């Protein structure tokens, strides 16, 4: 038995194979998909649309990031009370905060 991949099957001729290939149809949306794929590959462009809401959020985040990390007024108040000897710590509040963070 000889197998030759270039030869058509014995019961079909080259004309019949070509005729069958012509009868095969693409799905109706295939042409549109082919054109869209071609457009993407021939003229690639990146595009980003940012909504007004996201711009507003970005502006707010920028303003928040510019705020100082330390509340100096609070720190100065505590420093004064420590120096005066009037600063007291409620141990039960400290314990509660510790337990909440665990």
Digit-coded pLDDT (tens) for 11-22? 555 555 555 555
SS3 label, residue 1: coil
Residue predicted with more confidence, 57 or 68: 57
**For residue 92, pLDDT beyond 80:** yes
Helix count and strand count (H, E) for the chain: 5, 0
Q: Is 42:36 a contact under the CB 8 Å cutoff?
A: no
Would you state the pLDDT for residue 94?
94
**For residue 53, pLDDT beyond 80:** yes
Percent of the chain residues topping a pLDDT of 70: 57
Compute φ and ψ for 28, nearest 5 degrees: -60, -35
- Integer angstrom CA distances of residue 100 from 15, 47, 82, 91: 82, 46, 26, 14
Residue predicted with more confidence, 34 or 65: 65
Q: Is 33:40 a contact under the CB 8 Å cutoff?
A: no
Arithmetic mean of pLDDT, 63-85: 92
Would you state the pLDDT for residue 69?
86
Q: What is the pTM of this model?
A: 0.33
- DSSP structure class, residue 5: T
């Amino acid at each position: 038995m000889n197998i030759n991949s270039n030869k058509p099957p014995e019961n079909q001729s080259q004309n019949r194979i070509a005729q069958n290939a012509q009868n095969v149809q693409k799905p109706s949306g295939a042409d549109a998909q082919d054109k869209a794929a071609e457009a993407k590959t021939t003229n690639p462009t990146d595009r980003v649309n940012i909504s007004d809401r996201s711009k507003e959020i970005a502006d707010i985040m920028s303003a928040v990031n510019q705020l100082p990390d330390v509340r100096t007024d609070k720190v100065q108040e505590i420093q004064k009370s420590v120096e005066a000897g009037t600063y007291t710590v409620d141990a039960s509040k400290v314990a509660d905060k510790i337990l909440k963070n665990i």
